[in-house]
Structure 1
Amino acid sequence: MEKAAGVGFPLMMKPICEGSSIGMSKVESEDQLGSAWEVARQYDSQILAERWIVGEEYTTTILQGEAMPMIRLETPHLFYDYQAKYSATSTRYHCPCGLEQAEEKSLQALCVEAFEAVGASGWGRVDLMLDEQHRPWLIEVNTVPGMTDHSLVPMSAKVAGIDFEELVVRVLSTSLGRDEHE
């Protein structure tokens, strides 16, 4: 708890290997650390405490070493939580994301670099936020993102001109270690 408090408040506490924002809590003060820790610990024994970032959230799909168009996520929720992802009708997805082309390209390159830096390959997603000073903060690398018809990866691929069937074939080819042209 001492190390988590060292991050400063507010902070986000989350289980490292859980998806869909399950087990995540915003912690405003030291007296909330214990309860947030217990929530996260229900899902993973490894817990991450990270700085709370105020700003816009973006996600970048990575497919075969290339970044797809970025999506800006907009929700009235405290953060892009489970309800915002799966049940809220108020969540908005902006693709194109609204950034200047040069800035989007720069952030996409950062996301590809982060994806490769953690040893990920094939396909996945990298989430980031731009804080109030417009500085990027990498939030996470997702190596098993959703692939439903309303998931972020197919949404981004569609804007890139890749239909769902082609996307599935390309994802499978990366998973099987084959080039898309084989």
Structure 2
Amino acid sequence: LSVVKRREELSAAIAEAFRFDDEVMLEQFVAGRELTVGILGDDALPVGEIIPKHEIYDYECKYTVGMAEEVFPAQIPADRAREAQDLARRAFQALKLRGYARIDFRMTEEGGLFCLEANTLPGMTQTSLIPQGAAAAGISFPDLCERIALLAVSQESR
């Protein structure tokens, strides 16, 4: 993952990306706060905010202790939180996802929300983002695991 700030950096960033795969995706960088919303069945969990030590939530920030702070619930205006939850539910439905997933956003200084990605198989350790969102909703880790299992069984029987 590279963030290109000047045109002359683009070729090097693309070459670096091609070291990892034979397909590369370029997208416009959206500056702002990193938000995440877990979806559990039809319900959106509380919005969380990821505050990385780097400019972006990169591999090092994600997997190195102390390189990112995760805040649940996110300290954002209530209307922005409701909109993020609504957009996350709509993305979940549009992508025809089932069970649980995590939808990540950027919120600009002006409060605009941009969907970054849908994580269709998010981490499920006790310190992962979905369990943190569930905890903010009053759902314990064992209860979360049970709900996910029940969702899988109920969807399998359809």
> TM-score w.r.t. structure 2 length?
0.87
Paired amino acid for 2:93: E
Write the distance in 1 (CA, Å) between the matches of 2:122 and 2:23: 20
- 2:45 aligned with 1:68: yes
Shift of 1:82: 1.2
Write the distance in 2 (CA, Å) between the matches of 1:102 and 1:30: 37
Correspondence for 1:178 among 139, 154, 157 = 154
- 2:146 aligned with 1:158: no
Say whether the 8 Å CA contact 1:55–1:131 is kept in structure 2: yes
Distance 1:53 1:88, change over 3 A: farther
Using CA pairs below 8 Å that are at least 6 residues apart, which structure has the higher relative contact order? 2
Shift of 1:136: 0.7
Query: What 5-or-longer segments of structure 2 have no aligned partner?
Result: none
Q: Which has the higher helix share?
A: 2
Say whether the 8 Å CA contact 2:80–2:111 is kept in structure 1: no
- 2:38 aligned with 1:38: no
Q: What is residue 92 of structure 2 aligned with on the other side?
A: 115
Q: What is residue 79 of structure 2 aligned with on the other side?
A: 102
Shift of 1:157: 0.6
Write the distance in 2 (CA, Å) between the matches of 1:168 and 1:144: 14
Question: Number of paired residues?
Answer: 155
Say whether the 8 Å CA contact 1:65–1:121 is kept in structure 2: no
Write the distance in 1 (CA, Å) between the matches of 2:65 and 2:143: 29
Query: What 5-or-longer segments of structure 1 have no aligned partner?
Result: 1-23
Say whether the 8 Å CA contact 1:76–1:90 is kept in structure 2: yes
Identical amino acids, percent of aligned pairs: 30
Write the distance in 1 (CA, Å) between the matches of 2:103 and 2:56: 16
Paired amino acid for 1:112: R
